[in-house]
Amino acid sequence: MSKVLYIKANAKPEGVSRTFRVSDSFVESYKESHPDDEVITLDLYKENIGFLTEDDIALHNVEFGEGKDHPVLKYAYQFLEADKFIISAPFWNLSFPAILKAYLDYVSVSGITFKYTSQGPVGLCQGKKVIHFVTRGGAYSHEPLSAFELGDRYLRTLLGFLGITDFTTVALENMDRSDTNIELVVTDAIKDAREEAKNF
């Protein structure tokens, strides 16, 4: 049985957000094909994720096992306990919504999700896998604009730092162009996502 964390980062709600429409379908199909797995939905806006405070930062050197009920550290422990991650976030200002960065600041805690060694930092989240859903107003998958894509790239890098190298991206692009048949693109993506979920 796997533990799956479905991390949602968008101010827009389900049904309205194109990104959520695709990722929600993926999760629905995943639950059907993996009935014994535990899927926890973490809607970062509903969780009221905030910015790290001075007190929070002081806690970043805890002994492993301490602070499991702490409002910030609990997210790092929850992250460590999960086997798979589904991350859903639209492309905002060349990256992703700031609340997702705030959440990553919550989960990147030395002693919990990574550690410092004499050889340098080591991720403690090996063996886990991620699928990242994103929709973008324009197109940033190919050069030269790919250099401006700092969302998926940051996620891959940071989660790689935590030890996660199995990372898949599902990106829908040109979603704000008038010549894009958005409904068709979303419907096709939902079909593909439902299939992909069966083998995630």
Ligand X SMILES: Cc1cc2nc3c(=O)[nH]c(=O)nc-3n(C[C@H](O)[C@H](O)[C@H](O)COP(=O)(O)O)c2cc1C
Binding residues for FMN: 135-138
**Residue choice 39, 59, 80, 94 for contact with ligand X (CB under 6 A):** 94
23 binds ligand X (CB under 6 A): no
8 binds ligand X (CB under 6 A): no
Angle CA(130)–CA(135)–CA(138) in degrees, nearest 5?
135
29 binds ligand X (CB under 6 A): no
Check if the beta carbon of residue 183 is closer than 8 Å to that of residue 144: no
Name the β-bridge partners of 167.
130
Which residue shows structure tokens 């910015």?
Answer: 51
Q: Is 16 helix (H, G, I), strand (E, B) or coil?
A: coil
**Residue choice 12, 115, 191, 198 for contact with ligand X (CB under 6 A):** 12
**Residue choice 30, 85, 91, 96 for contact with ligand X (CB under 6 A):** 91
Amino acid letter, residue 81? E
Q: Where are the beta strands (DSSP E) in 64-136?
A: 84-88, 114-117, 120-123, 129-135
State in angstroms the smallest separation of the CB of 52 from ligand X.
22
92 binds ligand X (CB under 6 A): yes
90: left (phi over 0), alpha (psi -120 to 50) or beta: beta
**Residues of span 121-180 touching ligand X by CB under 6 A:** 135-138, 175-176
**Residue choice 93, 118, 181, 199 for contact with ligand X (CB under 6 A):** 93
State in angstroms the smallest separation of the CB of 170 from ligand X.
12
13 binds ligand X (CB under 6 A): no
- Give the chain's count of helices (H) and strands (E): 7, 7
- Using CB under 6 A, list all residues that contact ligand X: 10, 12, 17-20, 90-94, 135-138, 175-176
